[in-house]
């Protein structure tokens, strides 16, 4: 979820569509294809769309709210929303790690695609 925050925050570095445009298109596709998903996922699709999780990831308060919602749905006491404190404490380190990871991911995918074609 931390990486989701940084991806949303720096979305324009990675995609030509705005995060808003991409999100709307993605949510529409999810709804159109929801019959392919198990019931547990089908129940979450309207929530993800209604609260526009992708955009919410951009802010720490939005991410915390999503983590709180997820925490409420666990069968055990998880207090996921408190993990935002760890992100705040190590923000710069986790952000740097995100960029390292995402660069490696992009290179991996590029190499795989080149090998396929």
| pLDDT(106) > 90 | yes
Reading the block at residue 76, the tokens are 């055990």
| pLDDT value, residue 110 | 95
pLDDT category of residue 72 using cuts at 50, 70 and 90:
confident
Percent of all residues in the chain with a pLDDT value above 90, rounded to a whole number: 68
User: Could you tell me if 38 and 31 are in contact, meaning their C-beta atoms sit under 8 angstroms apart?
Assistant: no
In sequence order, what are the residues at sequence separation of 6 or more whose Cβ sits closer than 8 angstroms to the Cβ of residue 67?
Answer: 1, 80, 81, 83, 84
Q: Per-residue DSSP letters for 69-86? A: HHHHHSSS---GGGGHHH
pLDDT category of residue 32 using cuts at 50, 70 and 90:
very high
């Amino acid at each position: 979820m931390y990486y989701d925050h940084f991806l949303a925050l720096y979305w324009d570095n990675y995609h030509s569509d705005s995060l808003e445009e991409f999100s709307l298109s993605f949510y529409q596709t999810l709804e159109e294809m929801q019959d392919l998903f198990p019931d547990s996922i089908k129940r979450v699709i309207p929530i993800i769309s209604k609260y526009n999780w992708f955009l919410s990831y951009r802010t720490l308060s939005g991410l915390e709210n999503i983590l709180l919602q997820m925490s409420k749905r666990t069968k055990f006491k998880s207090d996921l929303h408190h993990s935002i404190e760890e992100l705040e404490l190590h923000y710069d380190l986790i952000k740097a790690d995100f960029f390292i990871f995402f660069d490696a991911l992009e290179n991996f995918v590029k190499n795989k695609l080149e090998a396929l074609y």
